[in-house]
Amino acid sequence: MESFLALKVHDDDNVATLFAEVADGSQVEIRDKKGDITKVTVLSDIPYGHKVALTKIHIGQQITKYGEEIGVATKEINIGDHVHVHNLDSMRARGDLA
């Protein structure tokens, strides 16, 4: 069975970045900065470089990557879900929220 890798950079992150395109139902090894590994089963196809949810994220809840808030959830997000513009509202470079 093929092994897929994603990185969780900061302890507070609730998403990890994938290093391959991953198909629905595949298991991904999530590695953190300490070298610890957890496994997550993805719930849909996810492109290379995109994010996978590591925790349940509720509507309006902060999405954290690299220890920084990158947005808020616009839909309920389950562990293993693809996290991208279809279910998050970016908080980066938003002049309308200044």
Convert the pLDDT of each residue in 35-66 to its tens digit: 999 999 999 999 999 999 999 999 999 999 99
CATH number at residue 69: 2.30.130.110
Confidence check: pLDDT of 10 > 70: yes
Calpha distance 70→42 (Å, rounded) = 21
- SS3 of residue 15 by DSSP: strand
For residue 94, what pLDDT band results from cuts at 50, 70 and 90? Answer: low
Please tell me the pTM assigned to this model: 0.90
The whole domain housing 9 covers: 4-97
Total structural domains within the chain: 1
Whole-number average pLDDT of the chain: 92
Confidence check: pLDDT of 69 > 80: yes
CA angle 39/20/44 to nearest 5° reads: 65
AA identity, residue 10: H
Identify whether the C-beta of residue 88 lies closer than 8 Å to the C-beta of residue 71: yes
